[in-house]
Amino acid sequence: MIDVMKMFKARMYMKRNEPFLYSWHAYVGYELDLFRAFDRPMSKFDVADALSLDDDLLEQWIMVGLSIGHLKEAGRGRYKIANAWKLPKPKGDNSSGVLLKEMMELHIPTLLQYPEMMREKKRSHFDEEKHAPTVAETSRLLEVLAMPKMSKKIRENHFKTVLDIGCGEAGYIKKLAERFPDTQFKGIEISPAVAEKAEEMTASIENVEIENTDLWHYQPAQPVDMVMLNNVIHYIDLEERQALFSELASWLNDGGILSVVTPIAGRVDDPPFANVFNSFFSSFDNLYRLPTREELAEWGEEAGLKMLGIRTVIKEGSWYIVQYAK
Ligand SMILES: C[S@@+](CC[C@H](N)C(=O)[O-])C[C@H]1O[C@@H](n2cnc3c(N)ncnc32)[C@H](O)[C@@H]1O
């Protein structure tokens, strides 16, 4: 009886881990540009040669691809991608593959450190320079969903000045600036590499300015109409969050809007990913847990702002946009 249970559980663990194979395969294909290589029928030798890759490992990757339906046989020892819509697009161009990269290179290795961190009572340190470009690119995947809620406020209120704090690659302000040419946009970004990318992305747009600085060292010369804080709260120490909200509120004109995008966690009935986010952030001595709904209400109120509402951006990731008026 006991042996039967053991087998049953072992099978269940394996079965539950099967989806990992799809992600792993897609990640390797994205990272090495293999899906582009197999865009038309190719043999493993041609691809291994063209990309200077190990033949045997490439063959194994092809075998997994055939078994999970990412690749299909195309005759004469050649293979081709199948179900292309399921696969990440090549690197750059805001490909969804960057999410696989972040999961495989950052989230999973970090979560695997748990036993050691718990035993040693130690945390890792989030390597800003190494991961900032990938993280800034993954955040951009949310743009399409969150952008309309920002545009609406700018349009309805005829806002003329917008600040984006922790602007990343300037994905939001770039699109908003193209849409609202008479509004001035400014992005503040602490990472030099990411700020440089933001400058490149917006070089041809006159109504965008990027400043490479720490938000705590920044202060606008004049009050502004809207301040955005998108996916930045988990970089802020818990003790400093109220001060940040009060500071940002003080930068707003009367009638101005503070617009915040963040995952929210704190309840066990939140989607599992939201709670794993916190396990991930808590692994680092320089990243912090997500805010709760109650805290978001409290920080706004204490800063003298009126909360306009909390609206869903992506339910499964527990991602929300929270807007406040002054
Ligand atoms: C997850 S990214 C989000 C980027 C962008 N706002 C978006 O939603 O696509 C967070 C960004 O905030 C920047 N950041 C973190 N702490 C900051 C600080 N104290 N001052 C300015 N930028 C900061 C990080 O370097 C990173 O690029």
DSSP β-ladder status, 224-230 and 71-73: unpaired
- Å from CA of 149 to ligand 1 middle: 20
- Sheet order of strands, 224-230 included: 208-212, 184-189, 161-165, 224-230, 252-263, 319-325, 306-314
Whether residues 214 and 318 share a domain: the answer is yes
Average pLDDT over residues 198-221: 97
Ligand 1 lined by 22 (C-beta under 6 Å): no
Q: pLDDT digit string (tens) for 139-150? A: 888 888 899 999
Give me the mean pLDDT over the 278-290 stretch.
93
Decide if 40 is inside a domain: yes
- The answer to whether position 158 is within a domain reads yes
51-60 pLDDT per residue, tens? 999 999 999 9
Q: d(Cα 88, Cα 164) in Å, to the nearest integer?
A: 29
166 and 299 fall within a common domain: yes
In the listed set 57, 91, 125, which residue is the last one of a domain according to the structure? 91
User: In angstroms, what is the span from residue 305 Cα to ligand 1's centroid?
Assistant: 23
Q: How far lies 197's CA from each of 85, 162, 171, 271, in Å?
A: 29, 20, 10, 33
Q: Range with the lowest mean pLDDT among 58-62, 104-108, 228-232, 311-315?
A: 311-315
259 lines ligand 1 (CB under 6 A): no
146 with 203, same domain?
Answer: yes
For residue 270, being part of any structural domain is answered with yes
Same domain, 161 and 267: yes
- Which of 91, 126, 152 is at the close of a domain? 91
Compute the distance from residue 173 Cα to the ligand 1 centre, in Å: 13
- Supply the residue whose CA is at minimum distance from atom 24 of ligand 1: 166
Full DSSP string of 219-249: --SS-EEEEEEES-GGGS-GGGHHHHHHHHH
Residues 208 and 302 in one domain: yes
- Residue 1, pLDDT > 70, answer no
Domain span at residue 11 reads 2-91
In a domain, 316, yes or no: yes
Q: Which atom of ligand 1 is nearest to the CA of 261?
A: 8
Query: Is residue 189 within 6 Å of ligand 1 at its C-beta?
Result: yes
Nearest CA to ligand 1 atom 10: 232
pLDDT level of residue 271 (50, 70, 90 thresholds): confident
Residue 312 lies in a domain: yes
3-state SS assignment for residue 190 = coil
Alpha-carbon radius of gyration of the chain: 23
Q: Is the pLDDT of residue 26 over 70?
A: yes
- pLDDT tens, position by position, 250-266: 999 999 999 999 999 87
Residues 147 and 86 both lie in one domain: no
Average pLDDT along the chain: 94
Tell how far the Cα of 9 is from the centroid of ligand 1, in angstroms. 42
CATH number at residue 41: 1.10.10.10
Task: State pLDDT tens for residues 219-229.
Answer: 999 999 999 99
Whether 48 lines ligand 1, by a CB cut-off of 6 Å, is: no
Q: How confident is the model at residue 270 (pLDDT cuts 50, 70, 90)?
A: confident
Pair (205, 278) in one structural domain: yes
Establish if 108 belongs to a structural domain.
no
Is the CB of residue 233 below 6 angstroms from any atom belonging to ligand 1? no
pLDDT over 80 at 94, yes or no: no
Residues 77 and 185 placed together within one structural domain of the fold: no
Whether residue 130 lies inside any domain: the answer is no
Residues 261 and 146 in one domain: yes
Asked if residue 281 and residue 207 are part of one domain, the reply reads yes
CA distance 304 to 59: 62
134-143, 186-195, 271-280: which is most confident? 186-195
The whole-number pLDDT of residue 322 equals 97
